[in-house]
Protein backbone atom coordinates (compact mmCIF):
# COMPACT_ATOMS: atom_id res chain seq x y z
CA UNK A 1 0.00 0.00 0.00
CA UNK A 2 1.75 3.13 -1.22
CA UNK A 3 -0.15 6.24 -0.06
CA UNK A 4 2.85 8.59 -0.21
CA UNK A 5 1.22 10.63 -2.97
CA UNK A 6 -2.02 11.16 -1.01
CA UNK A 7 -0.09 12.07 2.13
CA UNK A 8 1.89 14.70 0.24
CA UNK A 9 -1.36 16.11 -1.23
CA UNK A 10 -2.65 16.53 2.33
CA UNK A 11 0.56 18.22 3.45
CA UNK A 12 1.55 15.32 5.71
CA UNK A 13 5.15 14.16 6.23
CA UNK A 14 6.33 11.47 3.82
CA UNK A 15 9.37 9.16 3.80
CA UNK A 16 10.33 10.40 0.35
CA UNK A 17 8.97 12.75 -2.31
CA UNK A 18 6.30 11.01 -4.40
CA UNK A 19 6.41 11.37 -8.17
CA UNK A 20 4.05 10.82 -11.08
CA UNK A 21 4.39 12.23 -14.57
CA UNK A 22 1.82 14.10 -16.63
CA UNK A 23 0.99 11.99 -19.71
CA UNK A 24 2.89 9.09 -18.13
CA UNK A 25 0.89 6.66 -20.25
CA UNK A 26 1.56 7.41 -23.88
CA UNK A 27 3.46 7.19 -27.07
CA UNK A 28 7.00 7.36 -25.58
CA UNK A 29 6.36 3.87 -24.13
CA UNK A 30 6.74 0.97 -26.62
CA UNK A 31 4.30 -0.98 -24.42
CA UNK A 32 1.66 1.74 -25.03
CA UNK A 33 2.34 1.77 -28.76
CA UNK A 34 1.79 -1.97 -28.87
CA UNK A 35 -1.75 -1.61 -27.45
CA UNK A 36 -2.43 1.55 -29.47
CA UNK A 37 -1.29 -0.23 -32.66
CA UNK A 38 -4.39 -2.41 -32.44
CA UNK A 39 -7.06 0.28 -31.89
CA UNK A 40 -7.57 3.99 -32.56
CA UNK A 41 -7.20 6.44 -29.70
CA UNK A 42 -10.93 6.92 -28.97
CA UNK A 43 -11.55 3.17 -28.95
CA UNK A 44 -8.70 2.84 -26.47
CA UNK A 45 -10.33 5.46 -24.22
CA UNK A 46 -13.72 3.74 -24.49
CA UNK A 47 -12.59 0.15 -23.81
CA UNK A 48 -12.16 -0.17 -20.02
CA UNK A 49 -9.90 -3.26 -20.18
CA UNK A 50 -7.48 -1.54 -22.58
CA UNK A 51 -7.65 1.87 -20.88
CA UNK A 52 -6.92 0.17 -17.55
CA UNK A 53 -4.02 -1.76 -19.10
CA UNK A 54 -2.25 1.37 -20.37
CA UNK A 55 -3.01 3.21 -17.11
CA UNK A 56 -1.11 0.53 -15.18
CA UNK A 57 1.86 0.31 -17.59
CA UNK A 58 3.74 3.27 -16.06
CA UNK A 59 3.22 1.88 -12.54
CA UNK A 60 5.01 -1.33 -13.54
CA UNK A 61 7.61 0.26 -15.81
CA UNK A 62 8.43 3.55 -14.08
CA UNK A 63 7.50 2.75 -10.45
CA UNK A 64 5.65 6.04 -10.06
CA UNK A 65 3.62 6.72 -6.92
CA UNK A 66 0.25 7.35 -8.57
CA UNK A 67 -1.77 6.14 -11.54
CA UNK A 68 -3.73 8.57 -13.70
CA UNK A 69 -6.85 7.42 -15.50
CA UNK A 70 -6.20 6.95 -19.21
CA UNK A 71 -8.69 9.14 -21.04
CA UNK A 72 -8.71 12.62 -22.58
CA UNK A 73 -10.00 16.03 -21.58
CA UNK A 74 -12.19 16.06 -24.70
CA UNK A 75 -14.27 13.00 -23.78
CA UNK A 76 -16.88 15.13 -21.91
CA UNK A 77 -17.11 17.46 -24.92
CA UNK A 78 -18.26 14.58 -27.09
CA UNK A 79 -20.74 13.66 -24.36
CA UNK A 80 -22.08 17.24 -24.46
CA UNK A 81 -23.00 16.67 -28.10
CA UNK A 82 -20.05 17.71 -30.30
CA UNK A 83 -18.42 15.47 -32.89
CA UNK A 84 -14.89 14.47 -31.83
CA UNK A 85 -12.15 13.00 -33.98
CA UNK A 86 -8.43 12.56 -33.36
CA UNK A 87 -6.19 12.99 -36.38
CA UNK A 88 -2.60 11.68 -36.42
CA UNK A 89 -1.11 15.05 -37.42
CA UNK A 90 -3.76 17.69 -36.65
CA UNK A 91 -4.66 16.38 -33.19
CA UNK A 92 -8.26 16.67 -31.96
CA UNK A 93 -10.97 18.09 -34.23
CA UNK A 94 -14.34 19.13 -32.77
CA UNK A 95 -17.26 20.06 -34.95
CA UNK A 96 -19.11 22.20 -35.59
CA UNK A 97 -16.91 24.79 -33.84
CA UNK A 98 -19.03 26.88 -31.45
CA UNK A 99 -19.44 30.42 -32.70
CA UNK A 100 -23.10 31.32 -32.18
CA UNK A 101 -26.07 30.95 -29.86
CA UNK A 102 -27.63 28.13 -31.89
CA UNK A 103 -24.70 25.74 -31.51
CA UNK A 104 -24.24 26.55 -27.81
CA UNK A 105 -27.96 26.02 -27.12
CA UNK A 106 -27.80 22.51 -28.60
CA UNK A 107 -25.21 21.36 -26.04
CA UNK A 108 -26.38 19.29 -23.10
CA UNK A 109 -25.06 18.74 -19.60
CA UNK A 110 -24.67 14.95 -19.80
CA UNK A 111 -25.31 12.40 -17.06
CA UNK A 112 -21.79 10.94 -16.74
CA UNK A 113 -22.94 7.44 -15.72
CA UNK A 114 -25.00 7.36 -18.91
CA UNK A 115 -22.91 9.14 -21.57
CA UNK A 116 -19.43 8.43 -20.13
CA UNK A 117 -20.06 5.14 -18.36
CA UNK A 118 -16.89 3.68 -19.91
CA UNK A 119 -14.81 6.18 -17.88
CA UNK A 120 -16.45 5.20 -14.61
CA UNK A 121 -16.16 1.50 -15.56
CA UNK A 122 -12.44 2.03 -16.21
CA UNK A 123 -12.04 3.64 -12.77
CA UNK A 124 -13.91 0.81 -11.04
CA UNK A 125 -11.81 -1.78 -12.89
CA UNK A 126 -8.59 0.09 -12.08
CA UNK A 127 -9.33 0.25 -8.37
CA UNK A 128 -9.75 -3.53 -8.42
CA UNK A 129 -6.64 -4.17 -10.50
CA UNK A 130 -4.45 -1.70 -8.59
CA UNK A 131 -5.66 -3.19 -5.30
CA UNK A 132 -4.19 -0.30 -3.30
CA UNK A 133 -0.75 -0.56 -4.94
CA UNK A 134 -0.85 3.20 -5.73
CA UNK A 135 -3.69 5.74 -5.61
CA UNK A 136 -5.69 6.54 -8.75
CA UNK A 137 -5.98 10.11 -10.02
CA UNK A 138 -9.07 11.11 -12.02
CA UNK A 139 -9.13 14.26 -14.12
CA UNK A 140 -11.00 16.72 -16.25
CA UNK A 141 -10.08 19.65 -18.41
CA UNK A 142 -10.75 22.89 -16.55
CA UNK A 143 -13.74 24.75 -18.02
CA UNK A 144 -11.70 27.36 -19.90
CA UNK A 145 -9.22 24.95 -21.52
CA UNK A 146 -12.13 22.71 -22.51
CA UNK A 147 -13.92 25.72 -24.03
CA UNK A 148 -10.92 26.63 -26.23
CA UNK A 149 -11.20 23.33 -28.12
CA UNK A 150 -14.97 23.76 -28.49
CA UNK A 151 -14.74 27.33 -29.79
CA UNK A 152 -11.63 26.90 -31.97
CA UNK A 153 -12.65 23.40 -33.16
CA UNK A 154 -9.04 22.23 -32.71
CA UNK A 155 -5.86 23.27 -30.97
CA UNK A 156 -4.82 26.89 -31.50
CA UNK A 157 -1.88 29.27 -31.36
CA UNK A 158 -3.43 32.63 -30.46
CA UNK A 159 -6.98 31.59 -29.51
CA UNK A 160 -8.47 34.40 -31.58
CA UNK A 161 -11.98 32.91 -31.79
CA UNK A 162 -12.06 32.21 -28.06
CA UNK A 163 -10.92 35.68 -27.04
CA UNK A 164 -13.15 37.27 -29.65
CA UNK A 165 -16.17 35.52 -28.13
CA UNK A 166 -15.08 36.61 -24.65
CA UNK A 167 -14.62 40.24 -25.68
CA UNK A 168 -17.40 40.62 -28.26
CA UNK A 169 -20.11 38.20 -27.07
CA UNK A 170 -19.58 37.93 -23.30
CA UNK A 171 -23.13 36.63 -22.66
CA UNK A 172 -22.65 33.81 -25.15
CA UNK A 173 -19.32 32.94 -23.52
CA UNK A 174 -20.92 32.86 -20.06
CA UNK A 175 -23.78 30.65 -21.21
CA UNK A 176 -21.27 28.22 -22.74
CA UNK A 177 -19.08 28.29 -19.62
CA UNK A 178 -22.07 27.62 -17.35
CA UNK A 179 -22.80 24.42 -19.29
CA UNK A 180 -19.15 23.31 -19.30
CA UNK A 181 -18.76 24.09 -15.59
CA UNK A 182 -21.83 22.01 -14.72
CA UNK A 183 -20.56 19.16 -16.94
CA UNK A 184 -17.07 19.20 -15.38
CA UNK A 185 -18.53 19.25 -11.85
CA UNK A 186 -20.87 16.30 -12.46
CA UNK A 187 -18.12 14.41 -14.30
CA UNK A 188 -15.66 14.76 -11.41
CA UNK A 189 -18.31 13.80 -8.85
CA UNK A 190 -19.00 10.63 -10.85
CA UNK A 191 -15.27 9.85 -11.04
CA UNK A 192 -14.93 10.27 -7.26
CA UNK A 193 -18.00 8.09 -6.65
CA UNK A 194 -16.49 5.44 -8.96
CA UNK A 195 -13.25 5.45 -6.95
CA UNK A 196 -10.90 8.26 -8.03
CA UNK A 197 -8.73 9.08 -4.99
CA UNK A 198 -7.55 12.51 -6.19
CA UNK A 199 -8.60 14.65 -9.16
CA UNK A 200 -6.65 17.04 -11.35
CA UNK A 201 -8.08 19.95 -13.34
CA UNK A 202 -5.96 20.66 -16.44
CA UNK A 203 -5.96 24.35 -17.42
CA UNK A 204 -3.28 23.94 -20.07
CA UNK A 205 -4.10 27.18 -21.90
CA UNK A 206 -4.84 29.41 -18.87
CA UNK A 207 -1.52 31.19 -19.44
CA UNK A 208 -2.80 33.03 -22.53
CA UNK A 209 -4.53 35.59 -20.31
CA UNK A 210 -3.54 38.72 -18.41
CA UNK A 211 -4.05 38.15 -14.66
CA UNK A 212 -7.34 40.10 -14.64
CA UNK A 213 -8.77 38.21 -17.61
CA UNK A 214 -7.55 34.90 -16.19
CA UNK A 215 -9.50 35.65 -13.01
CA UNK A 216 -12.69 36.65 -14.82
CA UNK A 217 -12.76 34.17 -17.70
CA UNK A 218 -11.00 31.03 -16.41
CA UNK A 219 -10.41 30.98 -12.65
CA UNK A 220 -13.93 32.03 -11.62
CA UNK A 221 -15.30 28.83 -13.19
CA UNK A 222 -12.60 26.66 -11.62
CA UNK A 223 -13.53 28.12 -8.23
CA UNK A 224 -17.16 27.15 -8.87
CA UNK A 225 -16.19 23.55 -9.67
CA UNK A 226 -13.97 23.27 -6.58
CA UNK A 227 -16.48 24.87 -4.21
CA UNK A 228 -19.23 22.56 -5.49
CA UNK A 229 -17.03 19.47 -5.15
CA UNK A 230 -16.00 20.35 -1.61
CA UNK A 231 -19.56 21.16 -0.50
CA UNK A 232 -20.82 17.93 -2.05
CA UNK A 233 -18.11 15.80 -0.42
CA UNK A 234 -18.89 17.39 2.92
CA UNK A 235 -22.66 16.86 2.63
CA UNK A 236 -22.28 13.27 1.36
CA UNK A 237 -19.70 12.57 4.10
CA UNK A 238 -17.21 11.44 1.46
CA UNK A 239 -13.64 11.63 2.83
CA UNK A 240 -11.96 14.63 1.16
CA UNK A 241 -10.38 13.82 -2.19
CA UNK A 242 -7.41 16.11 -2.95
CA UNK A 243 -7.97 18.49 -5.85
CA UNK A 244 -4.95 19.46 -7.98
CA UNK A 245 -5.10 22.51 -10.25
CA UNK A 246 -2.58 22.64 -13.09
CA UNK A 247 -2.19 25.77 -15.21
CA UNK A 248 0.27 26.02 -18.11
CA UNK A 249 2.53 29.12 -17.93
CA UNK A 250 1.98 29.68 -14.24
CA UNK A 251 4.48 32.40 -13.41
CA UNK A 252 2.45 35.52 -14.20
CA UNK A 253 -0.68 34.18 -12.54
CA UNK A 254 0.34 32.74 -9.17
CA UNK A 255 -1.36 35.43 -7.08
CA UNK A 256 -4.62 34.49 -8.83
CA UNK A 257 -4.03 30.74 -8.96
CA UNK A 258 -3.38 30.50 -5.23
CA UNK A 259 -7.00 31.58 -4.55
CA UNK A 260 -8.43 28.64 -6.56
CA UNK A 261 -9.38 26.59 -3.49
CA UNK A 262 -7.42 23.58 -4.80
CA UNK A 263 -5.36 21.53 -2.34
CA UNK A 264 -2.35 21.24 -4.65
CA UNK A 265 -1.06 23.64 -7.30
CA UNK A 266 0.80 22.43 -10.40
CA UNK A 267 3.77 24.62 -11.33
CA UNK A 268 5.47 24.75 -14.74
CA UNK A 269 9.26 25.03 -15.24
CA UNK A 270 9.39 28.69 -16.21
CA UNK A 271 9.70 29.71 -12.55
CA UNK A 272 11.97 28.43 -9.76
CA UNK A 273 9.91 26.29 -7.40
CA UNK A 274 11.06 28.22 -4.28
CA UNK A 275 9.87 31.49 -5.86
CA UNK A 276 6.50 29.91 -6.62
CA UNK A 277 6.24 28.61 -3.05
CA UNK A 278 7.07 32.05 -1.65
CA UNK A 279 4.33 33.63 -3.74
CA UNK A 280 1.72 30.99 -2.83
CA UNK A 281 2.62 31.05 0.88
CA UNK A 282 4.47 28.81 3.32
CA UNK A 283 1.63 26.26 3.55
CA UNK A 284 1.87 25.72 -0.20
CA UNK A 285 1.47 22.20 -1.54
CA UNK A 286 3.00 22.11 -4.98
CA UNK A 287 3.45 19.70 -7.88
CA UNK A 288 6.24 20.03 -10.44
CA UNK A 289 8.32 21.32 -12.08
CA UNK A 290 11.01 19.77 -14.30
CA UNK A 291 11.12 20.97 -17.92
CA UNK A 292 9.86 17.93 -19.92
CA UNK A 293 12.69 18.41 -22.41
CA UNK A 294 15.28 18.17 -19.61
CA UNK A 295 14.61 14.42 -19.97
CA UNK A 296 16.71 14.59 -23.14
CA UNK A 297 19.81 15.56 -21.07
CA UNK A 298 22.43 12.99 -20.06
CA UNK A 299 21.44 11.34 -16.79
CA UNK A 300 24.11 13.08 -14.68
CA UNK A 301 22.65 16.43 -15.79
CA UNK A 302 19.10 15.28 -15.04
CA UNK A 303 20.38 14.35 -11.59
CA UNK A 304 21.60 17.91 -10.94
CA UNK A 305 18.18 19.30 -11.86
CA UNK A 306 16.39 16.78 -9.66
CA UNK A 307 18.54 17.78 -6.68
CA UNK A 308 17.97 21.46 -7.45
CA UNK A 309 14.17 21.06 -7.55
CA UNK A 310 14.10 18.91 -4.39
CA UNK A 311 16.15 21.58 -2.60
CA UNK A 312 13.89 24.40 -3.74
CA UNK A 313 10.81 22.40 -2.67
CA UNK A 314 12.01 22.10 0.92
CA UNK A 315 10.13 25.26 1.96
CA UNK A 316 6.77 23.84 0.87
CA UNK A 317 4.25 22.14 3.14
CA UNK A 318 4.03 19.38 0.55
CA UNK A 319 5.72 18.48 -2.74
CA UNK A 320 4.79 16.01 -5.43
CA UNK A 321 7.49 15.73 -8.08
CA UNK A 322 6.28 15.99 -11.67
CA UNK A 323 7.20 17.58 -14.97
CA UNK A 324 6.04 21.14 -15.66
CA UNK A 325 3.90 19.73 -18.51
CA UNK A 326 3.33 16.41 -20.27
CA UNK A 327 6.14 14.04 -21.26
CA UNK A 328 6.84 14.22 -25.01
CA UNK A 329 6.42 11.18 -27.32
CA UNK A 330 10.13 11.33 -28.33
CA UNK A 331 11.39 11.04 -24.71
CA UNK A 332 13.81 8.16 -23.98
CA UNK A 333 11.90 5.87 -21.55
CA UNK A 334 15.14 4.95 -19.73
CA UNK A 335 15.56 8.56 -18.66
CA UNK A 336 12.04 8.62 -17.25
CA UNK A 337 12.73 5.42 -15.30
CA UNK A 338 15.98 6.97 -14.03
CA UNK A 339 14.18 10.18 -13.03
CA UNK A 340 11.74 8.30 -10.79
CA UNK A 341 14.62 6.44 -9.14
CA UNK A 342 16.54 9.67 -8.56
CA UNK A 343 13.58 11.45 -6.98
CA UNK A 344 12.97 8.50 -4.66
CA UNK A 345 16.65 8.15 -3.68
CA UNK A 346 17.63 11.79 -3.20
CA UNK A 347 14.49 12.76 -1.28
CA UNK A 348 14.66 9.91 1.23
CA UNK A 349 15.35 11.41 4.64
Interface ranges with ligand 1CP (CB under 6 A):
22-27, 36, 41, 68, 70, 72-74, 86, 91-92, 139, 155, 202, 204, 326
* Residue 23 is a catalytic residue: yes
Residue 86 Cβ vs ligand 1CP, minimum distance, rounded to whole Å: 6
312: closest CA among 278, 344, 349, 263? 278
The nearer residue to ligand 1CP, 72 or 216, going by C-beta atoms, is 72
* Residue 27 is a catalytic residue: yes
Q: How far, in whole angstroms, is CA 294 from its chain's centroid?
A: 20
- What's the number of CA atoms in the CB half-sphere (13 Å) around residue 194? 26
The nearer residue to ligand 1CP, 23 or 230, going by C-beta atoms, is 23
The nearer residue to ligand 1CP, 20 or 173, going by C-beta atoms, is 20
On whether the CB atoms of residues 262 and 229 are closer than 8 A, the answer is no
On whether the CB atoms of residues 274 and 281 are closer than 8 A, the answer is no
Position closest to ligand 1CP via CB: 155
Burial class (CB in 10 A: 0-12, 13-18, 19+), 347: buried
On whether the CB atoms of residues 299 and 332 are closer than 8 A, the answer is no
**Which value, in Å, is the radius of gyration of the alpha carbons in the chain?**
19
On whether the CB atoms of residues 48 and 41 are closer than 8 A, the answer is no
Catalytic residue (one of 10, 16, 23, 279):
23
The nearer residue to ligand 1CP, 217 or 312, going by C-beta atoms, is 217
* Calpha distance 79→150 (Å, rounded): 12
* Calpha distance 272→314 (Å, rounded): 12
Q: Is the Cα torsion angle 76, 125, 335, 27 positive or negative in sign?
A: negative
* Calpha distance 116→54 (Å, rounded): 19
* Residue 312 is a catalytic residue: no
Catalytic residue (one of 3, 36, 203, 217):
36
Catalytic residue (one of 16, 72, 178, 291):
72
Residue 145 Cβ vs ligand 1CP, minimum distance, rounded to whole Å: 6
Which helix H or strand E contains 277, and what residues bound it?
A: helix 273-280
Residue 36 Cβ vs ligand 1CP, minimum distance, rounded to whole Å: 5
The nearer residue to ligand 1CP, 85 or 216, going by C-beta atoms, is 85
- Give the CA dihedral 96, 99, 104, 105, nearest 10 degrees: -100
* Calpha distance 218→210 (Å, rounded): 11
* Calpha distance 327→216 (Å, rounded): 30
Residue 347 Cβ vs ligand 1CP, minimum distance, rounded to whole Å: 22
* Residue 215 is a catalytic residue: no
* Calpha distance 256→209 (Å, rounded): 12
On whether the CB atoms of residues 292 and 327 are closer than 8 A, the answer is yes
The nearer residue to ligand 1CP, 112 or 326, going by C-beta atoms, is 326
The nearer residue to ligand 1CP, 26 or 242, going by C-beta atoms, is 26
Residue 135 Cβ vs ligand 1CP, minimum distance, rounded to whole Å: 14
Number of H helices, E strands in the chain: 17, 9
Residue 150 Cβ vs ligand 1CP, minimum distance, rounded to whole Å: 12
Residue 148 Cβ vs ligand 1CP, minimum distance, rounded to whole Å: 8
Catalytic residue (one of 10, 27, 174, 305):
27
Catalytic residue (one of 3, 32, 127, 149):
149
Give the active site residues.
23, 27, 36, 72, 149
Amino acid sequence: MNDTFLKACRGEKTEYTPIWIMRQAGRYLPQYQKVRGKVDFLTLCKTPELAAEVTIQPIDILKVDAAILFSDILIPVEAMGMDLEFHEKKGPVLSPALRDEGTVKKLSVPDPEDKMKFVMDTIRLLRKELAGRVPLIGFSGAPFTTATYMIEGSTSKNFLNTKRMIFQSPDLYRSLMDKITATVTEYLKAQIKAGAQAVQLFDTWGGIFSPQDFRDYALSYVKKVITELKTWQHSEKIPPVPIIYFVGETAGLLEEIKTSGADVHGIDWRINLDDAIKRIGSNAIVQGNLDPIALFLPQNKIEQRVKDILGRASSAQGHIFNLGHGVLPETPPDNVIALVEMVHNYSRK
